[in-house]
Structure 1
Amino acid sequence: MGMVGQILRLVIAASTSVVALAASQVQAQEADAEPSAGLEAIVVTARKRVENLQDVSSSISALGATDLAKRFDSDVRDFANASPNVLIDDTQQGPGGVAAIYIRGIGVADVEKSVDPAVGVVIDDIYLGQSSGSLLKAIDVDRVEVLRGPQGTLFGRNATGGVINLARSRPTQELTGKVRGTYSSFETYDLQGVVSFGITPDVALKVSGAYNSTDGYIFNRTQNQPGQKSDFRAIGAQLLITPTEALEVSLSYDHQLTRQDPGQLHAITKSTDLFCAGFGYCSPSPGVPISGDRYITVGNAPVDKSARFELDMAIGKIKYDLGGDFELQYIFGYLKTNESINQDFDSTPETLYHTDRPARWRQITNEARLIMGGTGPLTFVLGGFHWDSKYTINLKNYIGFAGAPLLTSAQDVTQTTKSYAAYFEGDYRITDKLKLTLGGRYTHDRKTSIVNDKTIFIYGTLEEANPVLAIPPTLAGGAIVMGTPAKQSWSEFTPKVSLSYDWTDDVMTYALWSRGYRAGGFNGRPATLSAATTPYNPETLDNFELGFKSQFLDDRLRLNAAVYLMKYKDMQQDLDVPAPGTSTGRENRTINASQAELKGFEVDLTAQITPEFTIAGNVGYLDAKYKNFVGDIFSTGTPVDATFLRIRRAPKWTWDLRASYEREVGPGLLMLNAELHHIGAHELTFLNNPNLRNGAQNMLDTSISYRINNTMISVFAKNLLDENGWTIGYDVQNVWSYAAPRPPRAFGVAVTQTF
């Protein structure tokens, strides 16, 4: 408890200082300020029922509709700034936005759909089961909730780090709507709109649409043109049917299509790497791409918007009020994605390593809930959940560094997952002030995987024409040939216990223990039969947390904080290892290699200094370390003690400071907003490659808006300090490394019309 006690004392000291400062500022302004209604209450559905943020005994940050209307977020990445200890990046490894989402140092940054997420992204109660497409666009988002720490009870598998829960607006009987048009740097055009109206007294319809086109912030010197062009289109509709006061039916459908240039990666090489020593593509200095500029690439793949990501999603919900504070809910979800991309991973003017990756994903979910609300001593949610998913990838490698001028190898992978779960979480008020929360979820997973290598072709030149040799998989040494799929099942129970005490109507403290569970699985990028058929086991995470929620000064100041200790067991690690005798000579394996301990604290503050001036901020501290980690991390055949490695994407410090000022000027309202977000130094690669390490970064966003009646004109800047840290770093040991930079400084103007 020594470290935890020190952290707790720091939290209390920092919180006391902030409260005192805010209180003095508020009191100084009270004489001149008009009476204020205080901060807007934030309603969340983090526990699958409607609650006030301040009543939930766990770590949650949230943005409501009022806050979101003042921001110019493009996708889920921008939402992360509202929460401490959160990192979200686009890995640029596939079409549609491949998310690397980390909360408290826990997450996944891999393009393969065989790798389950460690942080859940949920939209309108539907969990997205893959990283591709998880960078959801900021279209018609009404509320964003960031749940930190394992959410194994109510959200289940693959939410060990936490959950990002997004909710969209509901259809209304009145004619309402919003349209926003934006022009910003890099020839970026964005148009979004949503309109809602009643069809009959019992039926309301909402229709939404979006279009985005950009040249991107990367220039391809080899092709002599912008290398990150994309077009995005989306359309959606939702029907809300209320035939009786007790019954509500909601049906929605969304279609999205992205056409874009393949991701523009940068080759970063050491003098000992093959691409440098053997081909002369050398970084001019450590950490610098071979192009010499993070925003200039030299890859030779076409930049012709040939990459494609298509998404279709249907959601059906039924709610029935049974009376007596009981409500029955049923939620159906269907998600299908289809993608294709030919990507230049070597990022050189030659074809050293490219891939063609057409992939298809389909998931179906069914969930039933019985909810007991009301004001009695007992409230609960009881549910059952069913998951069914399937994905197929037809991978093709283009290899120009293996000896022959060009070698192509292909591999078909199909994996399925079926999961069943039953869960319960209930609150019982022992007294008016003391509340006990108990929960648990039992999950059973069943996975299958079948992998088959295809014919290897060898060509006399770097062009894929007129092969000089064809080697069928039956003759290729080490080729994977599977007639039937490999199968494996796992079961896990994830409990939750918390005790909270209301010291006053505005101050609550809590103690929490919860467990998260990330499913086991099969390698999706194997080069050997052993890697294809040997499953890896689930990982579990136990979270011990102390926290408080508080509001002061007539609800003008909201202060929440928590201190936590999390213990990882059977932590899954992705390793790039040699595979001699195979077409690529390498493979990616997931192993249960380590234990880890993560501890820290988080503070969240919002203060209404005057009726016109509001400040908000947060700070997160994280100490993440491996424990009992022994593995063959250097691919020498000899396991070593690997606890000296630093955990990826786990900066010690993150913090965010926001300020908002509003004042009547002339016939309208002037709004000024600024946000400074800090991410501490952190590793991006498993082996802590210093050439792919991020230093501390500070991102400043600002905006000035003027609203007259229902029309708002805004000018904004993003990343005003022009930070250029890496969003992805991948190390192919002794061959080369690749990376991609974060978006640079950008300016824009937007016009928003509401009605």
Structure 2
Amino acid sequence: MFRVGIDSAVRAAAGTPAFDTAASAYKIESYAFFGQATLHVTDQFDVTLGGRYSKDKKRARQTGATMDALPIIAAPFDVTNRAEYSSFDPRIVATYKFTLDVNVYASYSTGFKSGGFQYVPFNAASANTLFDPEDIKTYEVGLKSEWLDRKLRLNAAGFYYDYRNLQVSRIIDTPSGPQTLISNAATSTVKGIEVELLMRVARDVELSATYGYLDATYDKYVFNLGQNLVFDGTALVRAPKNTLNLGGEWRIPVADDTLTLRADYALLSTFYHEPGEGDPIFGSGIPLTRKDGYGLLDLRATYQMGAFRINAYGTNVTNKKYRRTVNALGNTIIGFAGQPAIYGVKLGYSF
């Protein structure tokens, strides 16, 4: 329910408020059958086969009404839609073990995300704009290994994701005002690698590092819900090319107790909150949806006394200022700040 107008507070106090009311009632029935089995072809070679069948039945009644002279909802509407979506998604994984501590694998699977209805539409046209199911084919090869008497862990993976009808949520300007609309990017691909390293440098000291590289693009994405924007070849939203996570943990014996000190640092490279890679041809506010890379540092100290535990923590301890979400509405920008530095203490008891 929306109360609008520069005099809305005065009118509400006088008992004559103006309302725009948008309501959605959903009914969803979901069914799924799944299973998998592993075949030990040899002592070193395994093949895992699996599958899942999913079916969704959905119904939505979406209505809008207004009591306002300058309404968000220009005309009353009452729309009911029904839809059914189903998919069978197989999975196959082949694993070869060189030793007990070293193996390689390759996998193929498909995935399915049901289609549906717009969230709180402001007009009948939006209520009747359904989005299609999202489908994905995934290919992955990787290495899992431990070395130096299991003091060193090295895992690596390369992957390729092939999306069809990737669901993309945007907030856009409409004649009825800002509105969330979900549309489909016809084809999108995500390629990348991830490397994880964990090393026990001393009996009670561990260091870790994880690096990820991502190449994620909309291969074909035309947003034609009133804007006719072509995002072909641009980066997916919130998909930084480079990510780096560093961690360290030191466990210190204190008599019969244990003090654990931990630090984690997460670094992201540049990414975008809206499609279009910050290019103003997609809207005057789009350049401001670019987010330069930043890092967040978290610290934690845990004192374990038998069943009792005291945990002191700090998140974003450098008080890095960043925006976790940005929406561009023409030349208007709506941003949501990320959490500032937060410190706290937790007490726990294990039964």
Q: What is the rounded CA distance, in whole Å, between the counterparts of 2:273 and 2:260 in structure 1? A: 38
Determine if contact 2:93/2:105 at 8 Å carries over to the other structure: yes
- Match of 1:455, as an amino acid? T
2:249 alignment partner AA: S
Alpha-carbon distance change, 626 to 700 in structure 1, aligned in 2, over 3 angstroms: same
SS at match of 1:609: strand
Distance verdict in 2 for CA 1:624–1:667, change over 3 Å: same
Q: Which of 676, 682, 688 is the matching residue for 2:265?
A: 676
Give 1:492's aligned residue. Answer: 87
Q: Is the 8 A contact 2:62 2:120 kept in 1?
A: no
State yes or no: 1:545 paired with 2:150: no
**What is the CA–CA distance in structure 2 between the aligned matches of 1:676 and 1:571, rounded to whole Å?**
31
Counterpart of 2:61, as a letter, is I
In the superposition, relative to structure 1, how do residues 424 and 479 fare at CA in structure 2: closer, same or farther (>3 Å)? Answer: same
1:627 counterpart (212, 219, 226): 219
Q: Select which of 396, 415, 432 maps to 2:26.
A: 415
Alignment of 1:52-91 (within 5 A): none
Tell me which amino acid in the other structure corresponds to 1:645. Answer: T
Q: Answer yes or no: is 1:607 the counterpart of 2:199.
A: yes
> Conserved in 2, the CA contact under 8 Å of 1:729 and 1:737?
yes
Residue 515 of structure 1: which of 110, 128, 144 is its match? 110
Query: Is 2:241 aligned against 1:652?
Result: yes
Q: Larger RCO: Structure 1 or Structure 2 (Cα < 8 Å, ≥ 6 residues apart)?
A: 1
The answer for the alignment partner of 2:281 in structure 1 is: none
**Hey, what does 1:593 align to over in structure 2?**
185
Q: Which structure features the higher share of strand residues?
A: 2
CA-CA distance at 1:509 after TM superposition = 0.5
Give, in angstroms, the shift of residue 532 of structure 1.
1.2
The reply on whether 1:717 has 2:311 as its aligned counterpart is no
Structure 1 pair 711–486 and aligned structure 2 pair: CA distance change class (3 A): closer
8 Å Cα contact 2:2/2:20 also seen in 1? yes
Kindly provide the CA deviation profile for residues 695-743 of structure 1, in whole angstroms up to 9, marking residues without a partner as x. Answer: 2121112234444544454543321222111112122224x22112112
Whole-angstrom distance in 2 between the partners of 1:408 and 1:686: 33
- Asked if the contact 1:572/1:591 (under 8 Å) is kept, the reply is yes
The alpha-carbon deviation at position 674 of structure 1 amounts to 1.5
Rate the CA distance shift 1:411–1:754 in 2: closer, same or farther, 3 A.
closer
1:562 aligns with 157
Q: Distance in 2 between matches of 1:533 and 1:517?
A: 22
Map of 1:128 onto structure 2: none
Contact 1:599 1:623 (C-alpha < 8 Å) held by counterparts = yes
For normalisation by structure 2, the TM-score amounts to: 0.86
Match of 1:747 in 2: 343
1:691 is paired with a residue whose SS is: helix
> What does 1:424-463 correspond to in 2, within 5 Å?
424-458=35-69
Return closer, same or farther for 1:641/1:754 CA change in 2, 3 Å cut-off: closer
Cα distance in structure 2, aligned partners of 1:669 and 1:575: 48
Matched residues in 2 for 1:626 and 1:641: separation?
A: 10
Residue identity in the other structure for 1:655:
L
Tell me if structure 2 keeps the 8 A contact 1:681–1:696: yes
Q: C-alpha separation between the residues in 2 aligned to 1:577 and 1:716?
A: 39
The 2-side partners of 1:521 and 1:711 are apart by 48
CA change 1:425–1:401 in 2 (3 A) is farther
Where does residue 128 of structure 2 map in the other structure?
Answer: 533
Superposed CA deviations along residues 370-428 of structure 1, whole A, max 9, x for unmatched, are xxxxxxxxxxxxxxxxxxxxxxxxxx1223379xx985311221111111122221111
| Cα contact 1:527–1:586 (8 A) shared by 2 | no
Distance 1:579 1:740, change over 3 A: closer
Cα–Cα, structure 1 residues 407 and 575, in superposed 2: closer, same or farther, change >3 Å?
farther
Shift of 1:554: 2.1
Task: Give TM-score, length-normalised by structure 1.
Answer: 0.42
> How much has 1:619 moved relative to structure 2?
1.4
Structure 2 CA distance for aligned equivalents of residues 570 and 412 of structure 1: 27
Separation (CA, whole Å) in 2 of partners of 1:494 and 1:667: 52
**Selected match of 2:295 from 678, 698, 701:** 698
In the alignment, the residues of structure 1 paired with residue 301 and residue 172 of structure 2 have an alpha-carbon distance, to the nearest angstrom, of 51
- What 5-or-longer segments of structure 1 have no aligned partner? 1-395, 460-470
Cα distance in 1 for residues equivalent to 2:310 and 2:62: 54
Change (3 A) 1:655 1:577: closer
User: Residues 557-582 of structure 1, C-alpha deviation per residue, up to 9 Å, x if partnerless?
Assistant: 222111001111112223444543xx
SS at match of 1:481: strand
Question: Match of 1:524?
Answer: 119
- Whether the 8 Å CA contact 2:48–2:92 is kept in 1: the answer is yes
* Pair 423,720 (structure 1): closer, same or farther in 2 beyond 3 Å: same
Q: Structure 1 residues 401 and 596, CA, compared in 2 at 3 Å: closer, same or farther?
A: farther
* Residues in 2 aligned to 1:628 and 1:713: alpha-carbon distance in whole angstroms: 52
Paired-residue identity, %? 26
| 3-state SS of paired residue (1:454) | strand
Task: Give the direction of change, closer, same or farther, for the CA distance of 1:498–1:453 in structure 2 (3 Å limit).
Answer: same
